[in-house]
Amino acid sequence: MVSIAKNVTDIENIYTYFEFCEFGGWDEFDVLLSIFINIMKCEILEELDGIYSRHCTLKKNNFIFKLMYHEDFGNCLCNQYKKDDNYYKMLEKLAYEAASKLAK
pLDDT at 43 exceeding the cut of 90: yes
Q: DSSP character for 80?
A: S
- Assign 10 a pLDDT band (cuts: 50, 70, 90): confident
In angstroms, how far is the first alpha carbon of the chain from the final one?
8
Q: Which fold has domain 4-102?
A: Double Stranded RNA Binding Domain (3.30.160)
Asked if the model's pLDDT at residue 4 lies above 80, the reply is: yes
What are the structural domain ranges in the chain? 4-102
The mean pLDDT of 61-77, rounded to a whole number, is: 92
Q: Kindly report the average pLDDT of the chain as a whole number.
A: 89
Q: Is 90 exposed, middle or buried (0-12, 13-18, 19+ CB in 10 A)?
A: middle
State the pLDDT at residue 14.
65
DSSP E strand boundaries for 21-101: 43-49, 53-60, 63-70, 74-78
84: confidence class by pLDDT, cuts 50, 70, 90? confident
